[in-house]
A and B are shown apart, each in its own frame.
Chain A
Amino acid sequence: QKEVEQNSGPLSVPEGAIASLNCTYSDRGSQSFFWYRQYSGKSPELIMFIYSNGDKEDGRFTAQLNKASQYVSLLIRDSQPSDSATYLCAVKGGDSSYKLIFGSGTRLLVRP
């Protein structure tokens, strides 16, 4: 069974620090990787996606992918209290479907 694993947290960081969120996946054939942010009581909001090994930066967010280690991470620089949310890692498999498999999410708390 294909799995996506995340530490449930909470991960607590002070305002202005770098928050590092990690995700591992079991399907070596996975091709696409997504990070969603979900505020309490809201639906998931896409933050970033990454397809290739290495880093991808978008503003304060950097996604990192290492397919050999089956590991994807999200770095949030200059963390703000408004970044406090649950971050969901999602993986699309290597098959022809568009199904996403979600991790259980990491809860991030940014302390003012």
Chain B
Amino acid sequence: SAVISQKPSRDICQRGTSLTIQCQVDSQVTMMFWYRQQPGQSLTLIATANQGSEATYESGFVIDKFPISRPNLTFSTLTVSNMSPEDSSIYLCSVLTGGQETQYFGPGTRLLVL
């Protein structure tokens, strides 16, 4: 499986600010995804990060709030914009490698919004 890293690993932010989370993979992957895991909850897919084009967002998530970039096959960013305390969550990127259907997760970014 691919080795996935995320930066930052955790952060504490003030409401109204924005945070950009980076996801780096050690090899080229076919697909990258961003998930949110709110406290005590399971994982919810935010969007699929598409290389070279706009991300595909799930119902309830919009580009203005969660802009995503994927400039190449090994890197993606998720920005959480105009944050409120309700955005306090773990944000996880996952990847799908070629020829497989299994998703592997990065270590996550723990965000607390005050």
Contacts and interface: CB of A to CB of B under 8 A. Distances in A.
Contacts of A44: 43, 92, 105
Given A43-B92, A43-B106, A43-B107, A98 B42 contact: no
Contacts, number: 48
A104 B41 contact: yes
Nearest to A6: B42
Interface string A83-105: 00000101010000111111111
A83 B31 CA distance: 30
Given A43-B92, A43-B106, A102 B101 contact: no
Interface extent on A, as a size class? Answer: 20 to 34
A49 to B, nearest CB: 6
B102 interface: yes
A17 interface: no
Interface of A: 32, 34, 36, 42-46, 49, 88, 90, 92, 97-105
A88 B42 contact: yes
* Secondary structure class of chain B's binding surface, majority of residues: strand
B42 A102 contact: yes
A83 to B, nearest CB: 19
Contacts of A36: 105
Contact of A102 (B43, B107, B108): B43
Given A102-B43, A105-B42, 20 more contacts: A32-B101, A34-B102, A34-B103, A36-B105, A44-B43, A44-B92, A44-B105, A49-B101, A88-B43, A92-B101, A98-B31, A98-B33, A98-B48, A98-B96, A99-B48, A99-B58, A101-B45, A102-B42, A103-B42, A104-B41
